[in-house]
Amino acid sequence: MSRELRRLLIPPERIEGLQRTGRSDGRVALEAGEAHYLERVLRFRPGDRLAVIDGGGRLWTAVLEPGRQLRLEQGHATPQVRQEAPWPPLELAMAIPKREADLVWRMATELGADRLQPLHAARCVPTQRWDIERWQGIVREATEQCERLWRPELMAPQPAQDWLARPVEGIALLATTRRDGLRPASDVVRDLRHGPDEAPLDRGIHLAIGPEGGWTPAEEEAAESVGWQPVSLGDAILRTSTAAVAGLALLADWRRLSCASCRRPSP
């Protein structure tokens, strides 16, 4: 069964390139990193089978062939598995912590996030430098490992206040602390509905997690002015990485229980 095969993510443009180049043999040339992973890490040899995913909901089975290439066992336009995108989409926006960002992107991928937005908040470490290429690799590897068919979209870092001040669509939850009357995020999620009168869900559920020192008043004001709902993730003061994983796990579990049989609304 395909679920028992090790997976390799190849971007859809390379799969679709088979059609553009007129190749009908289903052979895809491996890049150096992919060949290293299969031959050196997994110890694959020509003739071994694996699953190829494109990160866009499609899966093929394939055979490793000599010359560092794969041969798809199904046509590029007729994958063995085709899966609709998860609905509603989940977005995690996180102020980049001094440590553990790699861990959060990996765990967020495993938990089912569909979009990852790094933020540079006022209370982030000012001299921090980010390796976006490394993060992309972590997301790709986590997608392969956890057997997802949809790879999360990892966005470029943005200034938190500017990003939070943009008009928001869907359900937007701003995790914060040390404020009276904060509604627990679990209560907000419990009350979410997915009927025809709840159109905002079609625009996704967004969760924003602040830095270790918390959002500044200006950042919170910018967010709330465009519709972000301030919520609590519990009585304890959580590290950024803990809060991100806890909040996303709550949303992912709600989606699994409430929307497993839902279909994306028709446009």
Do 76 and 102 lie in one domain? The reply is: no
Q: Quick check: 20 pLDDT over 50?
A: yes
3-state DSSP assignment of residue 119? strand
Task: Identify the pLDDT of residue 146.
Answer: 94
pLDDT value at 215 more than 70: yes
Query: Residue 125: pLDDT band by 50, 70, 90 thresholds?
Result: confident
Instruction: Note whether 131 and 250 are same-domain residues.
Output: yes
Shared-domain flag, residues 115 and 73: no
Could you tell me if 62 and 114 lie in one domain? no
pLDDT digits (tens, 9 = 90+) for 151-177: 999 999 999 999 999 998 899 999 999
Q: Is residue 185 part of a domain?
A: yes
Say yes or no: 24 and 118 in one domain.
Answer: no
More confident residue, 24 or 258: 258
Last residue of a domain, one of 29, 48, 82: 82
Q: Which two tokens stand for residue 100?
A: 């553990």
Alpha helices in 82-236 (DSSP H): 101-111, 132-145, 160-164, 185-190, 217-225
pLDDT computed for residue 117 by the predictor: 98
Cα 62 to Cα 21: distance, rounded to the nearest angstrom: 19
At 65-120, the pLDDT tens digits run: 999 999 999 998 899 999 999 999 999 999 999 889 999 999 999 999 999 999 99
Residue 28 lies in a domain: yes
Instruction: Report if residue 263 sits inside a domain.
Output: no
- Kindly state whether residue 266 falls inside one of the protein's structural domains: no
Q: Is residue 264 part of a domain?
A: no
Domain boundary among 38, 56, 82: 82
Q: What percent of the chain has pLDDT over 70?
A: 90
What domain range is 7 assigned to? 2-82
Angle at 142 between CA 25 and CA 156, to 5 degrees: 95
Of the residues 56, 82, 108, which one is the last residue of a structural domain?
Answer: 82
pLDDT at 267: 37
The confidence score (pLDDT) of residue 198 equals 54
28 and 50 fall within a common domain = yes
Examine the domain organization and report whether 166 and 38 are in the same domain.
no
Radius of gyration of the chain (CA): 21
Q: Is residue 76 included in any domain, yes or no?
A: yes
Q: Is residue 162 part of a domain?
A: yes
Structural contact between residues 214 and 177, judged by C-beta atoms closer than 8 angstroms: yes
In total, how many domains does the chain have?
Answer: 2
Q: Is the pLDDT of residue 264 over 80?
A: no
Q: Say yes or no: 241 and 187 in one domain.
A: yes
Residue 267 maps to a domain: no
Cα separation of 18 and 109, whole Å? Answer: 28
Instruction: With a cut of 90, say whether residue 196 has pLDDT above it.
Output: no
158 CB-side CA count, 13 A: 16
Do residue 203 and residue 237 come from a single domain? Answer: yes
107 shares a domain with 31: no
Do 146 and 16 belong together in one domain?
Answer: no
Which of 17-31, 104-118, 209-223, 228-242 is least confident? Answer: 17-31
Domain CATH number, residue 158: 3.40.1280.10
92: number of Cβ within 10 Å:
27
Average pLDDT over residues 14-42: 83
Do 176 and 246 share a domain, yes or no?
A: yes
Asked if residue 248 lies in contact with residue 215, where contact means CB atoms within 8 angstroms, the answer is no
Pair 119, 111: CB distance under 8 Å: no
Q: What is the CATH number of the domain that holds 71?
A: 2.40.240.20
Cα(217)–Cα(113) distance, rounded to whole angstroms?
27
